[in-house]
Amino acid sequence: MRTSLVVIWVLAGLGACLGVAVATQSQDPTKDQEAPLVRINVSIRKDQVIPLEAQKLPADFGAKSFLHVKSLVAFGPRYSGKPGWSKQLDYIEAHLKKLGIASKRDTWTDRRELMTFTNISATIPGKRKERILLACHHDTKCTTGHPDKKHNFHFVGANDGASAVALLLELAPILQKRSNEATIELVFFDGEESLDWNWNEAARALFGSKRYLKRHRDALLLGEEPRIEAMVLLDMVGRDDLHIQEELYSTDLMRRICWSAAVATKNQKHFFVRAEAAADDHKPFLDVGIPAVDLIDLNGNPTWHTPYDTIERMSPDSIQKVAEVVLTMLPAIEQAYFKKANFK
């Protein structure tokens, strides 16, 4: 993904590291035909906290997730065509199958890139057929064949890829036991990473989420699929020095729910200290009006797309914290989008 340039940094003083970032309001799409559909929002007001009940997970949740991270990292690079890519797909499917959760593979070949991608999705039933998506990307950045030699190195994507896959795999049995208002769909997107080293406006990135959404829209028109009411995207959730930024494309209310869950679980110091827009797999959903939030640790992350994104720079505790925030968000998302609660 890529960060936006439309950000003003406010440094907290001499010697400060990156401080609170404030985004400017982007151009008004009604005034500029070239403007993107989704604007960069301003930060939420942190004093407007929705009172939520903190949801705790078993104390070993993070440690169990970490075992998945280790297994996935041991597969090596995991982008299309690499042995680790196939092994990871099998691993995700096998784990879900063991839990008794049927998963679906959607495999296609991109005509322009002549590359094969695979999304995996799995549903956990709720009282309603309409869905809340919990999603991540499973591919790792390709770090070979780039013209600039410094972009070519061995990359295992412990955080950027494996951490969120692991979190969702470990959250699945918890969600199975939960009384879900909506159907919950776990989605593991392929091809999030840009094939070019640089983002280039996602021209060669977000393959899986774009594909998923196109298929969903077709199915929705034919009445073959229930609606998606909200989406929570997880990306890089296991770094030892965890910081989930306030991602400014994300829907205001979804960000407010995320912040309120961080407050409820006493994780404020790891959430929304910094704010910046980041284009990611939630963007295609936002573009068609589906409320979404990206829980991403990109801003100020020194290991991002470097050889140092390894297990040594990760912490089980970070995965545990993010998972508890996600679980705490769920009742509020259900309230907001299924029971039409009006949060003050």
Q: Which residues bind Zn ion (CB under 5 A)?
A: 141, 160
Closest residue to bound Zn ion by CB: 160
Length of the chain: 344
Provide, rounded to whole angstroms, the least separation between the CB of residue 342 and Zn ion. Answer: 37
CA atoms within 13 A of residue 155's CA, in its CB half-sphere: 22
Of the two residues 131 and 305, which places its CB atom closer to Zn ion in the complex? 305
Of the two residues 284 and 291, which places its CB atom closer to Zn ion in the complex? 284
Provide, rounded to whole angstroms, the least separation between the CB of residue 137 and Zn ion. Answer: 8
Provide, rounded to whole angstroms, the least separation between the CB of residue 314 and Zn ion. Answer: 15
Sign (positive or negative) of CA dihedral 199, 70, 262, 336:
positive
Q: Which amino acid is at 114?
A: L
Secondary element (H or E) of residue 104 = strand 103-110
Provide, rounded to whole angstroms, the least separation between the CB of residue 206 and Zn ion. Answer: 11
Provide, rounded to whole angstroms, the least separation between the CB of residue 161 and Zn ion. Answer: 7
Of the two residues 216 and 305, which places its CB atom closer to Zn ion in the complex? 305
Nearest to 75 by CA among 92, 62, 63: 92
> Treating both helix axes as pointing N-terminal to C-terminal, what angle do 83-98 and 164-177 enclose, rounded to 10 degrees?
10
- B/e letters for 69-104, b = 16+ CB within 10 Å, e = fewer, are bebbbebbbbbbebebbebbbebbbebbeebebebe
Of the two residues 68 and 141, which places its CB atom closer to Zn ion in the complex? 141
Of the two residues 95 and 141, which places its CB atom closer to Zn ion in the complex? 141
